[in-house]
Amino acid sequence: PKCACPFGHMAEVTLIIDNEVFEHERFIYSPGPPEKTIEIKTEDIHQLVSTGPNKVVYYQD
């Protein structure tokens, strides 16, 4: 809850990923319509965000 879409931003937008995400087996994201929902292994998040132009910061509390 309360998160922004992690994909498709302009290059000027920095992605901040909370490391607690990696405590879960899967990452599930829906841009709205249920038929557009994607599910990936959380370990694949690094690879996915590295394909975009955005700087990525991993947040650790």
Whole-structure pTM value = 0.75
Q: Where are the domains of the chain?
A: 15-59
Confirm if 6 and 49 have CB atoms less than 8 A apart. Answer: yes
Distance between start and end Cα atoms, the chain: 18
Cα 36 to the center of its chain, rounded Å: 15
What pLDDT score was predicted for residue 61? 86
Q: Nearest Cα to 4, choosing from 60, 61, 43, 54?
A: 54
Q: Write the pLDDT tens digit of every residue in 4-51.
A: 677 778 899 999 999 999 999 999 888 777 788 889 999 999 998 999
